[in-house]
């Protein structure tokens, strides 16, 4: 059973499960767990791990249109290295600072592999929460930022590992000072789109973060709102780092649309509000398509867009 199937199974007892965060009065709360083997490639610094782990939860707060308030995290490893722990906390503090939130602590535990669980809370504005279920045919489909940065980072982490394997004295290690690895860590440290989520909150009819990839997010958003989507391939903003790891147009789209873990926002906005909302967003907001009737499905340039992306758990 994968994550989506598990959520469907829980729906009878937890009818609100499935949005990016839970809503309690005017507070949103969310939690995430990341593991070394599945989420932190060799070469990922503990600073980057702290930033990325806490950032993932802050991204969920952003997707609800809430202001980020605070975050905590669990740090678990086979043993505690003081320098590694300090770097992890520094990354967690810095990503919170980037969105005007506070990192306020957490828990320590031992584990067979480096594992972290993070929780973030936020406060709703007068606009209230933006859920996944409000899109309607005719709404504009919009995204923040640029896509494919995490996929490009993974290619660069792999390149750093290949460089290490070519060095007989470095087998089994990845040098953090390797240029490819340094760039990969930079790309892994995304800024959660809290400010953009706040700008979108009064206008967006539906919204979610893109941790599972654009294509899968559209299928999830379409299912929740009972609509379809038409995606215009050429309008999708692709991160420049993708251009550096592949020159094949089909592969560029694959990395941007299906890989996942970019933590951008995917939203629908009334047609009449697109220009105003785009100008209000501190980052970039780009229209990439439209919501259509559910029976028209999820398409890209008229062809079916496969429901393929990042999946937690096993199929």
What's the distance, CA 226 to chain centroid?
23
- H or E element in which residue 73 lies: strand 67-77
| Alpha-helix runs per DSSP H in 107-209 | 149-165, 179-188, 194-200
- Amino acid 162: pLDDT: 72
Which runs of E-coded beta strand occur in 197-296? 206-209, 227-231, 265-269, 285-293
Gap between the Cα atoms of 149 and 153, Å rounded: 6
Contact between residue 64 and residue 21 where contact means Cβ atoms under 8 Å apart: yes
What does the pLDDT look like over 39-78, one tens digit per residue? 999 999 999 999 999 999 999 999 999 999 999 999 999 9
**Residue ranges in the chain whose pLDDT is less than 70:** 1-18, 163-177, 311-315
Tokens of 116: 């972290």
Gap between the Cα atoms of 103 and 42, Å rounded: 26
- Amino acid 311: pLDDT: 61
Taking alpha carbons only, the member of 237, 209, 36, 15 closest to residue 120 is 209
Contact between residue 141 and residue 296 where contact means Cβ atoms under 8 Å apart: no
Tokens of 52: 């990325």
Tokens of 309: 């992306």
- Amino acid 161: pLDDT: 79
What does the pLDDT look like over 223-260, one tens digit per residue? 999 999 999 999 999 999 999 999 999 999 999 999 99
């Amino acid at each position: 059973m994968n994550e989506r199937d598990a959520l469907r199974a829980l729906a009878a007892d937890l009818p609100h499960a499935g949005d990016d965060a839970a809503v309690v009065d005017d507070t949103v709360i969310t939690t995430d767990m990341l593991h070394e083997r599945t989420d932190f490639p060799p070469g990922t610094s503990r600073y980057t791990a702290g930033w990325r782990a806490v950032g993932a939860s802050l991204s969920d707060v952003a997707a609800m249109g809430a202001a980020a308030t605070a975050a905590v995290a669990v740090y678990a490893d086979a043993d505690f290295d003081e320098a590694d722990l300090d770097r992890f906390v520094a990354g967690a503090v810095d990503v919170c600072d980037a969105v005007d939130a506070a990192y306020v602590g957490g828990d320590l535990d031992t584990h067979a592999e480096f594992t972290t669980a993070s929780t973030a809370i936020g406060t709703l504005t007068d606009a209230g929460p933006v859920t996944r279920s409000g899109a309607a045919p005719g709404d504009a489909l919009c995204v923040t930022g640029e896509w494919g940065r995490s996929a490009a980072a993974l290619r660069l982490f792999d390149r750093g590992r290949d460089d290490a394997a070519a060095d007989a004295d470095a087998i089994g290690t990845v040098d953090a000072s390797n240029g490819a690895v340094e760039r990969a860590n930079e790309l892994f440290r995304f800024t959660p789109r809290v400010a953009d989520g706040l700008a979108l909150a009064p206008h967006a009819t539906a919204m979610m973060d893109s941790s599972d990839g654009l294509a899968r997010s559209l299928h999830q958003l379409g299912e929740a709102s009972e609509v379809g989507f038409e995606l215009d391939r050429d309008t999708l903003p692709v991160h420049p780092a993708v251009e550096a790891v592949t020159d094949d147009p089909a592969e560029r789209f694959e990395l941007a649309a299906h890989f996942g873990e970019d933590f951008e926002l995917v939203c629908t906005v009334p047609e009449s509000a697109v220009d105003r909302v785009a100008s209000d967003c501190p980052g970039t907001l780009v229209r990439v398509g439209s919501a259509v009737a559910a029976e028209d499905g999820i398409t890209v340039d008229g062809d079916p867009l496969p429901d393929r992306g990042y999946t937690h758990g096993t199929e």
